[in-house]
């Protein structure tokens, strides 16, 4: 199994869950992954993928190099175009840098023992696919789309932005890699319908494979009263990790006075994710600022996540200042295994305003903790959330609809609790590992059979 990127997003969570669960279905996994930072850091592959046979490619030195793509090993590119970031968008990467990436990953795959494997499972469409095709042309490949590559391909198809001088070459490469896969895993039935036309692949090779959650980690363990308040005090006041435009963790902090918004078990609205433009965090903050005036009780909005120093468009803190929104808290980056389940169990609703979410991992994790979900009626979230049963769905980019849904989620305690109960049951029926790993193992068996 191979992942170009250092651990920071949904695909790394999926790779971790899958690699840990597959041995129970008869498949042993060696995971080759990018890595960043010292031992113990959340972005360090050995720490993040603990308990798994990991072969890590360290990007720490490359991140600080004058040109990260010319370092050895080179820093990975990105599907997102963020000026000044060390991971420039793939569509700006020239042929020489591309060949450097491919040769690096040929070496890493060999060093990790790919010559002895039965099958290669490659997450995303990246130069690892080309490295595998050149070094191990006879090894069957299962590809795995996670959504961000689809966003870049859609931008290219619509007319690439200025400066994406290598866009068409990359689009052709990605389509070619997808077409060489024996199976192509996608995150939802909706994605399975769209992928064949976008990538020119045989629909029979496209397999819906939703993400899931670890039932040992994500479960109902509600924090109430003083215990709940202690968690938010620690995260926001005592050990702040929220960050402003400087990108420094802890540069945004709060006072004991601010914690009044969490009194009396107020139903916290919880967003979890990166600060990317498609997530529509600014829209959520503005909708919340309007909705708050109609709340029957305090209900703070906590924005959890955002990799330090990394954001697109408006920074959430800038939007908070401009809109005058009160009771919106930036809690910063917290660990997925140890801390995220605690944050969800100290909340009332999980909110995801993203307009191009191919799945919605955080929704099923929140539902597994007994939270109803509020999301956008498009792509993956539309297949997860059942309106009126497990949460609310609103139209994409509709601030008014988001505002109304927030008001209902806060003011209707009975509906919120009822939908939380149903969300808990449905999440366990449909999205729990290791049951999902058994389905993946059957795909592997078909491919090598």
Token pair of 61 as six digits: 């030195």
Indicate if the pLDDT at residue 379 is higher than 90. no
Name the least confident of 122-126, 154-158, 417-421: 154-158
- Predicted pLDDT at 147: 85
Contacts of residue 145, defined as CB under 8 A and 6 or more positions apart, other chains included, come to 124, 125, 178, 184, 185, 186, 187, 191, 195, 358
Domain co-membership, 263 together with 207: no
Strands 301-305, 328-332: parallel, antiparallel or unpaired by DSSP? parallel
Judge if 253 and 294 occupy the same domain.
yes
Q: Does residue 217 form part of some domain? A: no
The CATH number covering residue 133 comes to 3.40.50.2000
Answer whether residue 441 is part of any domain.
yes
Number of domains in the chain: 2
Closest among 377, 287, 368, 373 to 323, alpha carbons compared: 287
Measured distance CA(319)–CA(297) in Å, rounded: 23
What phi, psi does 278 have (nearest 5°)? -65, -15
Interval 240-278: pLDDT, tens: 999 999 889 999 999 999 999 998 888 999 999 989 888
- Rounded CA-CA distance 439/442 in Å is 5
Residue (of 88, 431, 80) closest to 279 by Cα position:
80
Those residues with Cβ within 8 angstroms of residue 102's Cβ, 6 or more apart along the chain or in another chain: 127, 130, 131, 134
- pLDDT exceeding 70 applies to what percent of the chain? 100
**Does 40 fall in a domain?**
yes
- Whether residues 255 and 152 fall in one domain: no
In this structure, are 75 and 147 located in the same domain? yes
Domain that holds residue 199: 2-212+433-448
Contacts of 328 (CB under 8 A, 6+ apart): 285, 288, 289, 300, 301, 303, 316, 320
| Domain co-membership, 198 together with 234 | no
The answer to whether residues 308 and 392 belong to one domain is yes
Percent share of the chain, pLDDT over 90: 83
Write down the pTM of the prediction.
0.75
Are 353 and 264 a contacting pair, CB within 8 Å? Answer: no
Is the CB of residue 104 less than 8 Å from the CB of residue 74?
yes
- pLDDT tens string 166-213: 999 999 999 999 999 999 999 888 889 989 999 999 999 999 998 889
Give yes or no: residues 35 and 184 share one domain. Answer: yes
121 and 245 share a domain?
A: no
Regarding whether 392 and 332 lie in a shared domain, the answer is yes
184 in the same domain as 42: yes
Does any domain span residue 318? yes
Residue 218 belongs to a domain: no
């Amino acid at each position: 199994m191979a992942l170009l990127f250092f651990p920071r997003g949904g695909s790394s969570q999926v790779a971790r869950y899958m690699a840990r669960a597959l041995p129970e279905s008869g498949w042993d996994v060696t995971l080759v992954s990018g890595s960043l930072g010292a031992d113990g850091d959340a972005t360090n592959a050995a720490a993040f993928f603990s308990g798994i046979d990991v072969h890590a490619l360290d990007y720490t030195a490359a991140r600080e190099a004058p040109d990260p793509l010319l370092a050895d090993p080179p820093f990975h590119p990105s599907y997102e175009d963020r000026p000044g970031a060390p991971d420039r968008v793939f569509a700006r990467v020239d042929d020489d840098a591309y060949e450097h990436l491919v040769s690096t990953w040929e070496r890493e795959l060999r060093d990790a023992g790919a010559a002895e494997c039965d099958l290669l499972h490659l997450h995303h469409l990246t130069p690892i696919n080309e490295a595998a095709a050149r070094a191990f042309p006879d090894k069957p490949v299962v590809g795995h789309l996670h959504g961000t590559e689809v966003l870049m391909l859609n931008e290219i198809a619509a007319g690439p932005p200025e400066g994406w001088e290598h866009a068409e070459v990359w689009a052709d490469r990605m389509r070619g890699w997808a077409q060489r896969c024996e199976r192509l895993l996608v995150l939802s039935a909706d994605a399975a319908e769209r992928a064949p036309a976008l990538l020119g692949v045989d629909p029979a090779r496209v397999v819906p494979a939703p993400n899931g959650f670890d039932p040992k980690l994500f479960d109902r363990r509600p924090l109430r009263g003083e215990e709940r308040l202690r968690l938010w005090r620690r995260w926001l006041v005592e050990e702040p990790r929220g960050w402003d435009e400087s990108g420094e963790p802890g540069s945004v902090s709060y006072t004991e006075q601010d914690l009044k918004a969490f009194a009396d078990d107020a139903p916290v609205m919880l967003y979890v994710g990166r600060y990317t433009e498609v997530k529509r965090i600014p829209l959520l903050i503005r909708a919340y600022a309007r909705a708050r005036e109609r709340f029957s009780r305090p209900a703070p909005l906590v924005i959890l996540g955002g990799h330090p120093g990394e954001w697109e468009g408006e920074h959430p803190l800038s939007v908070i200042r401009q809109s005058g929104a009160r009771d919106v808290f930036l809690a910063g980056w917290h660990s997925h295994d140890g801390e995220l389940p605690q944050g969800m169990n100290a909340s009332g609703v999980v909110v995801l305003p993203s307009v191009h979410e191919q799945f919605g991992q955080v929704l099923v994790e929140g539902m597994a903790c007994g939270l109803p979900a509020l999301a956008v009626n498009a792509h993956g979230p539309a297949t997860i959330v059942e309106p009126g049963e497990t949460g609310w769905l609103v139209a994409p980019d509709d601030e008014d609809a988001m505002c109304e849904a927030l008001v209902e989620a806060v003011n209707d305690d009975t509906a919120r609790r009822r939908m939380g109960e149903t969300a808990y049951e449905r999440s366990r029926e449909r999205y729990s590992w290791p049951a999902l790993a058994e389905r993946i193992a059957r795909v592997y068996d078909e491919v090598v059979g």
